[in-house]
Protein backbone atom coordinates (compact mmCIF):
# COMPACT_ATOMS: atom_id res chain seq x y z
CA UNK A 1 0.00 0.00 0.00
CA UNK A 2 1.35 3.43 -0.87
CA UNK A 3 1.41 6.37 1.48
CA UNK A 4 -1.37 8.88 1.02
CA UNK A 5 -1.71 12.46 2.10
CA UNK A 6 -3.75 12.96 5.26
CA UNK A 7 -6.42 14.80 3.28
CA UNK A 8 -7.03 11.73 1.12
CA UNK A 9 -7.15 9.10 3.86
CA UNK A 10 -10.03 6.78 4.43
CA UNK A 11 -11.96 9.09 6.74
CA UNK A 12 -15.53 9.38 5.46
CA UNK A 13 -17.06 11.71 7.98
CA UNK A 14 -17.55 13.07 11.45
CA UNK A 15 -20.57 12.76 13.67
CA UNK A 16 -21.32 14.74 16.80
CA UNK A 17 -21.87 12.47 19.80
CA UNK A 18 -22.84 14.60 22.79
CA UNK A 19 -20.05 17.12 23.24
CA UNK A 20 -17.34 15.00 21.59
CA UNK A 21 -16.64 14.05 18.02
CA UNK A 22 -16.59 10.46 16.82
CA UNK A 23 -14.82 9.30 13.69
CA UNK A 24 -16.00 6.67 11.25
CA UNK A 25 -13.39 5.02 9.06
CA UNK A 26 -14.10 3.39 5.75
CA UNK A 27 -11.95 0.30 6.05
CA UNK A 28 -12.55 -3.30 5.11
CA UNK A 29 -9.56 -4.47 7.16
CA UNK A 30 -9.96 -5.96 10.62
CA UNK A 31 -8.62 -3.91 13.47
CA UNK A 32 -8.38 -3.39 17.19
CA UNK A 33 -8.28 -0.51 19.64
CA UNK A 34 -5.40 -0.29 22.13
CA UNK A 35 -4.30 2.02 24.90
CA UNK A 36 -0.57 2.10 25.61
CA UNK A 37 1.21 3.88 28.46
CA UNK A 38 4.67 4.53 29.88
CA UNK A 39 6.24 6.35 32.81
CA UNK A 40 9.39 8.21 31.76
CA UNK A 41 11.64 8.46 34.81
CA UNK A 42 15.18 9.13 33.51
CA UNK A 43 16.23 12.67 32.62
CA UNK A 44 17.14 13.16 28.93
CA UNK A 45 16.34 9.53 28.07
CA UNK A 46 14.00 8.96 25.13
CA UNK A 47 11.32 6.34 25.77
CA UNK A 48 9.14 4.85 23.04
CA UNK A 49 5.44 5.12 23.84
CA UNK A 50 4.20 3.35 20.72
CA UNK A 51 5.60 1.72 17.58
CA UNK A 52 3.24 1.05 14.70
CA UNK A 53 3.59 -2.66 13.83
CA UNK A 54 4.34 -4.05 10.37
CA UNK A 55 1.28 -4.46 8.14
CA UNK A 56 -0.72 -1.98 10.25
CA UNK A 57 -1.94 1.58 9.77
CA UNK A 58 -2.83 3.15 13.12
CA UNK A 59 -4.98 6.15 14.01
CA UNK A 60 -3.89 7.77 17.28
CA UNK A 61 -6.94 9.59 18.62
CA UNK A 62 -5.84 10.45 22.16
CA UNK A 63 -2.49 11.48 23.61
CA UNK A 64 -2.27 12.42 27.31
CA UNK A 65 0.91 13.66 29.03
CA UNK A 66 1.09 14.42 32.79
CA UNK A 67 3.92 15.53 35.07
CA UNK A 68 3.83 13.70 38.41
CA UNK A 69 7.48 14.29 39.37
CA UNK A 70 6.94 16.76 42.21
CA UNK A 71 8.49 19.72 40.42
CA UNK A 72 8.56 21.45 37.05
CA UNK A 73 9.69 19.25 34.18
CA UNK A 74 10.22 19.88 30.47
CA UNK A 75 8.92 17.27 28.04
CA UNK A 76 9.27 16.56 24.32
CA UNK A 77 6.88 14.30 22.42
CA UNK A 78 8.25 13.42 18.99
CA UNK A 79 6.76 11.54 16.05
CA UNK A 80 9.69 9.62 14.56
CA UNK A 81 8.59 8.40 11.14
CA UNK A 82 9.87 5.23 9.49
CA UNK A 83 10.80 7.25 6.38
CA UNK A 84 13.50 9.09 8.37
CA UNK A 85 11.59 12.31 9.02
CA UNK A 86 10.34 13.48 12.40
CA UNK A 87 8.11 16.12 13.93
CA UNK A 88 7.60 17.44 17.44
CA UNK A 89 4.06 17.00 18.67
CA UNK A 90 5.09 18.78 21.85
CA UNK A 91 8.45 20.54 22.04
CA UNK A 92 10.15 21.74 25.22
CA UNK A 93 6.86 22.08 27.10
CA UNK A 94 7.28 23.05 30.76
CA UNK A 95 4.80 21.22 32.98
CA UNK A 96 4.44 21.95 36.68
CA UNK A 97 3.69 19.12 39.09
CA UNK A 98 0.19 17.80 38.31
CA UNK A 99 -0.13 19.68 35.02
CA UNK A 100 -1.07 17.82 31.87
CA UNK A 101 -1.57 18.23 28.13
CA UNK A 102 -4.23 16.28 26.27
CA UNK A 103 -4.69 15.94 22.51
CA UNK A 104 -8.04 14.41 21.55
CA UNK A 105 -9.70 16.64 18.95
CA UNK A 106 -8.15 14.94 15.92
CA UNK A 107 -5.95 12.01 15.05
CA UNK A 108 -2.49 11.17 13.76
CA UNK A 109 -2.12 8.51 11.06
CA UNK A 110 0.86 6.24 11.79
CA UNK A 111 2.47 4.00 9.19
CA UNK A 112 4.42 0.77 9.89
CA UNK A 113 7.60 1.57 11.83
CA UNK A 114 6.50 5.04 12.97
CA UNK A 115 7.17 5.74 16.68
CA UNK A 116 5.88 8.18 19.28
CA UNK A 117 8.71 9.07 21.69
CA UNK A 118 8.76 10.82 25.08
CA UNK A 119 11.80 12.66 26.49
CA UNK A 120 11.68 14.37 29.92
CA UNK A 121 14.34 16.93 30.90
CA UNK A 122 15.11 19.79 33.32
CA UNK A 123 14.35 17.62 36.35
CA UNK A 124 16.85 15.26 38.02
CA UNK A 125 14.06 12.83 39.01
CA UNK A 126 11.38 13.23 36.36
CA UNK A 127 8.20 11.22 36.11
CA UNK A 128 6.15 11.91 33.03
CA UNK A 129 3.18 9.57 32.60
CA UNK A 130 1.97 9.32 29.01
CA UNK A 131 -0.75 7.29 27.40
CA UNK A 132 -2.25 7.06 23.93
CA UNK A 133 -5.24 5.36 22.41
CA UNK A 134 -4.72 3.96 18.93
CA UNK A 135 -6.93 2.08 16.54
CA UNK A 136 -4.90 -0.36 14.45
CA UNK A 137 -6.08 -1.56 11.04
CA UNK A 138 -4.37 -4.62 9.63
CA UNK A 139 -3.32 -4.13 6.00
CA UNK A 140 -3.25 -6.94 3.48
CA UNK A 141 -0.31 -7.08 1.11
Q: How many domains does the chain have?
A: 1
In a domain, 71, yes or no: yes
Beta-strand relationship, 47-51 and 115-121: antiparallel
In a domain, 25, yes or no: no
Q: 73: closest CA among 137, 17, 130, 141?
A: 130
Per-residue model confidence as pLDDT tens digits over 11-50:
333 332 333 333 444 455 678 999 999 999 999 999 999 9
pTM of the model: 0.78
In a domain, 7, yes or no: no
Domain that holds residue 73: 31-138
DSSP annotation string for 31-51: EEEEEEEEEE-STT--EEEEE
Amino acid sequence: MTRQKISSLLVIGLVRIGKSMGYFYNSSQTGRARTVNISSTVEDQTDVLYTCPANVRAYMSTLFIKNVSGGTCTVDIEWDRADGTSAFILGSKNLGNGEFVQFSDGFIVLEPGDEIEVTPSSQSTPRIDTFATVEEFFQTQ
